[in-house]
């Protein structure tokens, strides 16, 4: 299960737009679609008990269940609350989902500053998509001050973890590798 969770959120970050005009389109893979990929709860009551008992996995799955409205009424505000709860329990994927809910106004008012904080929390836990999404926020000054140097470093981290579009962004931020200078006068 862990391997699937690592793969799915990377797809979220890779499909994001880099718009800087204030009109931020939703990611190509919606929060709800990604939520479906990580799985919901077959038995909401059992998941709720396990979430209340401290299971971040169950809280994240409850978030996906409410985001999709599978077996329950669709409730994005409640989904966001479960993602935040799981994030607070140190579930980095849930932090990314909570960030996206804030960034794209799913169940909560649009709040880029909150989104950036959630992405940063996921990144701090070593989650590549959190680093990629936080880098976008830093590069464009959305919810945080512009910091191109830090954005470039975070793109590189996500690239190293396998996100190909992060590699393109890292190259864009750092420029092409310098060509060594050949000094002919140094020849014997």
CATH of domain 2-174: 1.25.40.10
Give percent helix, percent strand, percent coil of the chain, each to the nearest 5: 65, 0, 35
Q: Which residues contact 44 (CB under 8 A, 6 or more apart)?
A: 62, 65, 71, 72
In a structure prediction context, what are the per-residue pLDDT tens digits for the chain, which is 188 residues long? 333 333 333 333 433 444 434 444 445 444 444 544 568 999 999 999 999 999 999 999 999 999 999 999 999 999 999 999 999 999 999 999 999 999 999 999 999 999 999 999 999 999 999 999 999 999 999 999 999 999 999 999 999 998 888 999 998 887 654 455 555 555 55
Could you give the CA distance from residue 126 to residue 131 in angstroms, rounded to a whole number? Answer: 8
User: Domain ranges in the chain?
Assistant: 2-174
Could you give the CA distance from residue 15 to residue 34 in angstroms, rounded to a whole number? Answer: 12
């Amino acid at each position: 299960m862990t391997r699937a969770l690592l793969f799915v959120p990377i797809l979220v970050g890779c499909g994001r737009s880099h718009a800087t005009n204030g009109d931020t389109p939703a990611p190509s893979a919606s929060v709800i679609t990604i939520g479906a990929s990580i799985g919901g709860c077959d038995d909401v009551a059992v998941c709720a008990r396990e979430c209340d008992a401290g299971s971040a996995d169950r809280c994240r799955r409850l978030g996906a269940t409410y985001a999709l409205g599978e077996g329950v009424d669709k409730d994005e505000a409640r989904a966001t609350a479960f993602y935040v709860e799981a994030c607070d329990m140190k579930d980095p994927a849930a932090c990314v989902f909570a960030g996206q809910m804030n960034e794209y106004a799913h169940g909560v008012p649009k709040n880029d500053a909150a989104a950036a904080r959630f992405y940063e929390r996921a990144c701090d836990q070593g989650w590549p998509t959190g680093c990629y999404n936080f880098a976008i926020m830093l590069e464009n000054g959305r919810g945080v001050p512009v910091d191109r140097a830090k954005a470039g470093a975070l793109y590189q981290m996500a690239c190293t973890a396998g996100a190909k579009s992060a590699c393109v962004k890292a190259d864009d931020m750092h420029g092409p590798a310098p060509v060594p200078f050949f000094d002919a006068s140094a020849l014997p």
